[in-house]
Structure 1
């Protein structure tokens, strides 16, 4: 079996969805958590000078969160091979992309972005997500099976609940019943719960 090493900081951030996918997909991996100093030393060894980065068999490097998620999803069955099912996952991944953009700490004008996120963009995005979930009436975001899209949305909502976006109410997502139901379904999944238990400090 190939070896896998996921490199990121000692934080959830943009790597937690990937960690969940690897764990829930039954793929053993090395969870490399870099200090800022270690990252500075290794930065130029990564394809785009960024993390997360997945190294396969100590040679092939896969950068970018969504690309890694899709790769892991294909390996584990958490990203469907059926085009219609994959379309639903891709829609949810793109919704998550729109949300994740506001967590980027080094964006020019980041304070303006935060204000925009809190006052208009997150309520709008969660409103659309609520309507989408209510219409589809599925257990998870892209059907009745857990997929990589669920891990990404779960990670973003968890970050909001943890106060990772300054000025954003930690209970923002709680105003949307179907979003809450989705979060609880993912959080209560046996494999997700087992991962969270290993990470509890």
Structure 2
């Protein structure tokens, strides 16, 4: 007398007999994200603004001046690989302590990818983005996202991101609510998120 397990497995084998195994889909090389359409970039800017972030769109030639104008008073820290010159900024070499970073007014970083559907910015902490701490401790985060880094949705983002790298996903400034649902910003991250969306063409 066969037990139920043996009978079930026999039926599964019978059902699978003769069925062809479909080959796995070819892997998509990283860095080959679908080209963002103007509509996708518009949606990204709209969704980021929905999170109470400041969104500013500019041409590449304007970027340095726009970043300078957006900086609050006080000291600024930048990652070592930032492509934009920020006068008098501290270049983070990994030795700044949390207490020292807490006295810094702003950080300027670039991003790895922007997701239009969710209004999310992802950092993978390459040299133009720096270590995670500098993007979380200063009160203002100015983040540069280029139009050709914007993808439509989360699956497209996963096609670009390297799972072996550390990642920080940012959807608006840091915010939380107390028991009465009063919104409080800046408790566990930057109080102000200022996103520069840079046009692909100069």
- Of Structure 1 and Structure 2, the greater strand share is in 2
Return the index of the structure with the highest Cα Rg. Answer: 2
- Of Structure 1 and Structure 2, the greater helix share is in 1
TM-score, normalised to structure 1's length?
0.30
Higher relative contact order (CA 8 A, sep 6+): 2
TM-score, normalised to structure 2's length?
0.30
